[in-house]
Amino acid sequence: MRRIAAVKRVVVLLSGSGTLFQALLDAIGAGEVDAQVVAVVADRSECEGLERARRAGIPAFAHPFAKGSDRAAWDVELRDIVARFNPDLVASAGFMKLVGEAFLADFGGRTINTHPALLPSFPGMHGPRDALRAGVKVSGATVFVVDEGVDTGRILLQEAVDVLADDDVASLHERIKVVERRLFVQAVRDWPSGTGASN
């Protein structure tokens, strides 16, 4: 008898418009990814990504970090929100905050993120800008497993994007985003199910 694989439970972390999240929803809806987004958490009080989640009937949580507040306590609260949904995978989709020790103690090794450069080159907030400044002919997108560093985790997927002679930061970044969305969906699709905390 053929074993039916469990549907992957995914919590998405985001900060902005949620285009990576939408790409995942579209792929799930098309039957290309055997996963369910069980919750979305944003580090802003309001953003389009949260609205996308609400329109899709997905539990959506705003968990902003107030300047000057306790970062460790914020991290524990983030961990607790995510833990309620027992995800197989936490998918960071443009989440602009670094997760900390408490979060990684529970979800390290099953949290992924994307980056608009070919890591380990050009980590940090400005991958496309830094690639242009360095004069490289090729940049790209990376999906990696989140660790305690900044864009230092184990690389899962990469794809190159040519840097064109007339590129500026916006044009290069737009082409990278197209690849980033595809790799993000592929990484979720390929992630094994049944890796949640209660399994």
Annotated binding site for (6R)-10-formyltetrahydrofolate: 71, 96-99, 113
Tell me the one-letter amino acid at 107: F
63 is annotated as an active-site residue:
no
Are 117 and 127 within 8 A, CB to CB?
yes
Tell me the one-letter amino acid at 171: S
Q: What is the DSSP string of the chain?
A: -PPPPPPEEEEEEESSS-HHHHHHHHHHHTTSS-EEEEEEEESSSS-HHHHHHHHTT--EEE----TTS-HHHHHHHHHHHHHTT--SEEEESS--S---HHHHHHHTTSEEEEESS-TTSS-STTHHHHHHHHT-SEEEEEEEE--SSSS-SPEEEEEEEEPPTT--HHHHHHHHHHHHHHHHHHHHHHSPSS-STT-
Structure tokens at 130: 């830094």
Tell me the residue length of the chain. 199
Q: Would you please indicate which residues are annotated as catalytic (active-site) residues?
A: 115
